[in-house]
Amino acid sequence: MSTTFETVANIIAETCDIPRENITPESHAIDDLGIDSLDFLDIAFAIDKAFGIKLPLEQWTQEVNEGKATTEQYFVLKNLCARIDELIAAKTA
């Protein structure tokens, strides 16, 4: 079974045409991979579908804009995958 990171990395590689080997758990989706907000909608759509969840993008954006969170908390891939795992766990709880 694929790990969350493998699934997310493959989604990013396919959606944004980024070489898979360039995508690591430490990659920052925006700063390192250069993914913009429109491309991230496509990624969010694919992640939502793949995991049967709904990434709370609006809430994350608001928290970042208000200084309550950093982009690293949500957009470094290992952190993003941890959030996804939390959402999956909450769904099945």
Partner 1 sequence: MRLEYFQMIDKVIELDLDARTLRTANTVPTESPIFEGHFPGHPLLPGVLLFEIMAQSCGMLLLRLHNYDRMAFLASVDKGKLRTFVTPGQVIEVFARMEHDGSGFARLKAEGRVEGKLVCNADITLKTMPFPAPELRGYLLSTAERICMPMGDGPTPDGTERPGKLTHV
The contact set with partner 1 (CB under 8 A) reads: 38, 41-42, 44-45, 48-49, 54-59, 61
In the bound complex, what is the minimum distance in angstroms from residue 65's beta carbon to partner 1? 13
Query: How far apart, in Å, are the Cα atoms of 27 and each of 1, 38, 39, 76, 81?
Result: 22, 18, 16, 6, 12
> Can you read off the two tokens belonging to residue 90?
């909450």
Of residues 61 and 71, the one with the C-beta less far from partner 1: 61
How many other C-beta atoms lie within 10 A of the C-beta of residue 62? 12
Of residues 46 and 82, the one with the C-beta less far from partner 1: 46
Of residues 43 and 76, the one with the C-beta less far from partner 1: 43
In the bound complex, what is the minimum distance in angstroms from residue 57's beta carbon to partner 1? 4
In the beta sheet, which residues pair with residue 28?
76
